[in-house]
Amino acid sequence: MTRRILVSILVLLFGSVCRLRAATEYDAWLRYEPIEDQSVKALYERLPAVVVTLDDSPVVSAAAGELLRGVRGMLGRTLRVEAKVPAEDSIVLGTVESVKRAAPELAAAGGLIADGFWLKAAAFNGHRILIVAGQNERGVLYGVFALLRKLGLHARIDPLDDVENPYAPVRWVNQWDNLDGSIERGYAGRSIFFENDNVVADLTRAGDYARLLASVGIDGCTVNNVNANARMLAPDFVPQLAKIADAFRPWGVRLSIAVDFASPKTMGGLDTFDPLDARVAAWWRAKADEIYRAIPDFGGFVLKADSEGRVGPSVYGRTHADAANVLAQALQPHGGILIYRGFVYNHHMDWRDLKNDRARAAYDNFQPLDGKFAANAAVQIKYGPIDFQAREPVSPLLGALEHTNKTLELQITQEYTGQQRHLCYLVPMWKQILDFNLGVNGGDTPVKEIVSGRTFHRGLGGLVGVANVGADPSWLGDDLAMANLYGFGRLAWAPDLSAQQITEEWTRLTFGHDARVVDTVMNLQLESWRVYEGYTGPLGLGTLTDILHGHYGPGIETAERNGWGQWIRADHNGIGMDRTAATGTGYIGQYAAPVAAMYESLERCPDNLLLFMHHVPYTYELHAGKTVIQYIYDSHYDAAVEAQQFPEWWKTLRGRVDEPRYEAVVALLEYQAGHAIVWRDAICSWFLRMSGISDAQGRAGHFPNRTEAEAMQLSGYAVESVTPWEDASGGEAVACRSAKSCSAQFVFEGAAGWYDLNVQYFDVNTGAAGFKVYVGAQQVDQWKADARLPATAANGDSATRHRITGVALRAKDVIRIEGIPDGGDAAALDYVEIERQ
């Protein structure tokens, strides 16, 4: 073995051991916990002591290093690394080619494609060998991760004869990192790639991220925001990008970047960026050549153009295909690809025209261009026609580009699904999308087959996940959210895996094999999307969040009456977008006949997309056997109840999960439980007022155990209106703006007993107000409003519930909340709700 490989392995091996102990969450699913169970350990007793690396490359070295690290972690044994097959049992790592050269008598597996691998336990010269053969070097690395996953899952490795190939060639993540170090729609700290308009000096985390990605088969990472900074292509920046590529390379992850379409003009000094201008094409070619000199394995460009204010080919009357192809042609000689984002729509659409429909936009823009895109270009299509909502129908454009490569864009970062502060595990949603049969040409054409390129025999295709990991030790800001990153990778590699299987793999690798832990974590994950949808936007309404700002808390009306086109068309009588071909926007007509027929029909349209497809009165009776309005009430109340159970389930794992992760997850699930009630109340109050139809169960609008802050005896606090009104109970709150400390008190009138006090307040990010709660003279709790929420004002983003459990109350007790403002945080208070234990 060459010295270079040895050094790589050592860095991998010893560089990581110290960290292993320090930060469990940093290691995510690659923890390689020691196997203590003797019966499990016995399964691996005869694992060969020698690992042979037949190829001298960074990727195969990384594979060998990872195998050493994993075996050392799980079995406490240090394998020997050799460059030749020895006269003893051994594990052989190499490409199929190298294995054939080293041992021609070993029958290689047939049918391997790029990145695929073969795991085989065989006999050779009287010795047992365990072959990890890759169709290419990346396949060797993937084979090692697959072998280690078997150990981590306590699976048998003898006999062994597994062949695995990736389902699709493109398995990328996108990072929406800005060069200033911020991350658009990132919820886990600063960028691990950029700061102050430069690449960071220490790229350890970039390498560790690539390792995580490689472990689930992801082979590409676009490191910057699709709203791209022109500086990405600056001559002094390319060498910096090369350093990221160096960190990625051992893990087989190719670097790609998003580019600004105007670069030939802004960066290149041309007077145009017209894609059909020869000078522009030459500039792109020269730029691609320059990049490939620095980064020979560069993946390609991602382009967002003519979308949400980005310039594009329309400036010169050119098409998206013209734009895509000029870049694609520059990349083509080097094997790079161009990914063109299909997220193009008019965000100044006239909302008064009932025929207008943003959902139509992707299809309307791209379907006419089918067949015009270069062979090394792909159109990247979000899973739904709107924008990563908690529920959308599959984008009809996916079925409408028979002669164009496509990638499916999923979102790992939970932009509209709770931003990692709410547990919302998306693999079940993604499975529904991937398995959805678009019925193109009357055939059986599930989305996964279409986007992989199989259906229409395209050479390029696959899955792209917007990940947006950050510098938080847990990568995504929440240990449980890492299941989305894991699940994305697994589905990109093998979309036929069940959600159940992926979840179980992730859970066991992340938290170990304690049966109660495995059951509880899997239940939490698998129920979470349904529950989140239930207390946010059911029936296909979209998430019902504030679409103009944070995309986080409830903000129903932000969808309506503006040019962004996420209309839900709610009035006093009914609700829903009529997207039928018969009477509506015609959107449904973009689907192939079988799907269109289903959605067009009120009878056959599933409840969970009804209001996406149809406008109906609130009294319309659903398949579920209740009216639309009652369904809205029931869904929010039922799901909020379920969300209250999440922290309780988790708490049964105390002592079974290491304390730092245990505590971090408790805090998040308790926050989520409180915010679920904010959601429930906002949506139900709004619909109660809009529809004028009361909740048959008498809940909406009635809060018998709640005392509004504005009804309390105030000292220093002043009443303020909250916008939107439904984000505060009663539409109002009290704020402390002109005193060092304010208080609000009221008299408890209930019977003596043990109670939980829920204090509802607004936690803005412009300061950290303090709160103290007294019963009579006795302080029973205090806390700081110092959560990192995307909110500068009292609204559904900042509304937060603090629960004080087990307080003994007596009739006539005076309950007093003291608020101590800090900076711009006025210690705003909404209400106190008292529940009997």
Stretch that binds a second copy, among 329-337, 690-698, 731-739, 800-808 (CB under 8 A): 800-808
What's the closest the beta carbon of residue 90 comes to a second copy, in angstroms? 10
Q: What angle do CA 809, 814, 818 make, to 5 degrees?
A: 110
Please give the single-letter amino acid code of residue 697: Q
Stretch that binds a second copy, among 31-39, 281-289, 564-572, 710-718 (CB under 8 A): 31-39
List 1, 276, 311, 793, residue binding a second copy (CB under 8 A): 1
Contact 247, 202 (CB under 8 A): no
Stretch that binds a second copy, among 112-120, 250-258, 498-506, 746-754 (CB under 8 A): 746-754
Cβ proximity to a second copy, 498 vs 782, nearer residue: 782
Strand partners, 743: 715, 818
Q: Does 19 bind a second copy (CB under 8 A)?
A: no
Site for a second copy in 385-424 (CB under 8 A): none
Q: Does 42 bind a second copy (CB under 8 A)?
A: no
Stretch that binds a second copy, among 151-159, 348-356, 732-740, 752-760 (CB under 8 A): 752-760
List 153, 747, 808, 811, residue binding a second copy (CB under 8 A): 808
Report the C-alpha dihedral over residues 675, 680, 681, 685, rounded to 10 degrees.
150
Contacting residues for 501 by C-beta, under 8 A, at least 6 apart: none
What's the closest the beta carbon of residue 761 comes to a second copy, in angstroms? 18
Contacting residues for 343 by C-beta, under 8 A, at least 6 apart: 304, 307, 308, 362, 380, 382, 387, 409
Cβ proximity to a second copy, 213 vs 664, nearer residue: 664
List 656, 725, 731, 790, residue binding a second copy (CB under 8 A): 656
Stretch that binds a second copy, among 7-15, 352-360, 487-495, 819-827 (CB under 8 A): 7-15
Residue-wise burial string across 300-319, b where 16 or more C-beta atoms lie within 10 A, e elsewhere: bbbbbbbbeebebbebeebb
415 is catalytic: yes
List 12, 30, 50, 203, residue binding a second copy (CB under 8 A): 50
Q: Can you tell me the distance from the alpha carbon of 660 to that of 141, in angstroms, rounded to the nearest whole number?
A: 31
387 is catalytic: yes
List 368, 371, 459, 776, residue binding a second copy (CB under 8 A): 776
308 is catalytic: yes
List 78, 204, 713, 721, residue binding a second copy (CB under 8 A): 78
What's the closest the beta carbon of residue 544 comes to a second copy, in angstroms? 34
* Tokens (6 digits) for 30: 């690659």
What's the closest the beta carbon of residue 77 comes to a second copy, in angstroms? 3
Q: Is the peptide bond before 704 cis (omega within 30 degrees of 0)?
A: no
501 φ/ψ angles, rounded to the nearest 5 degrees = -65, -45
Sign of the Cα pseudo-torsion (638, 643, 647, 650, in order): positive
Q: Can you tell me the distance from the alpha carbon of 706 to that of 713, in angstroms, rounded to the nearest whole number?
A: 15
Please give the single-letter amino acid code of residue 451: V
Helix (H, G, I), strand (E, B) or coil at 48: coil
Cβ proximity to a second copy, 24 vs 635, nearer residue: 24
Length of the chain: 837
CA nearest 447: which of 415, 412, 409, 488? 409
List 684, 804, 829, 834, residue binding a second copy (CB under 8 A): 804
Which residue among the candidates 66, 415, 449, 578 is catalytic per the annotation?
Answer: 415
Q: Which alpha helices (DSSP H) does 589-692 contain, by range?
A: 593-600, 610-613, 628-651, 659-691
Site for a second copy in 485-514 (CB under 8 A): 512, 514
Q: What angle do CA 813, 816, 822 make, to 5 degrees?
A: 170
Which residue among the candidates 387, 478, 533, 797 is catalytic per the annotation?
Answer: 387
Cβ proximity to a second copy, 571 vs 663, nearer residue: 663
List 663, 702, 749, 835, residue binding a second copy (CB under 8 A): 663
Q: Does 185 bind a second copy (CB under 8 A)?
A: no
CB 160: neighbour CB atoms within 10 A? 16
Binding residue count for a second copy, defined by CB under 8 A: 49
Q: Does 76 bind a second copy (CB under 8 A)?
A: yes
Stretch that binds a second copy, among 155-163, 555-563, 658-666, 815-823 (CB under 8 A): 658-666
Instruction: State how beta strands 194-195 and 117-124 pair.
Output: unpaired
Q: Which residues belong to the active site?
A: 308, 387, 415
Interface residues with a second copy (CB under 8 A)?
1, 6, 10, 13-14, 21, 24, 33-34, 36, 49-50, 72, 75-81, 88, 512, 514, 651-652, 654-656, 658-660, 663, 752-754, 775-782, 804-808, 810
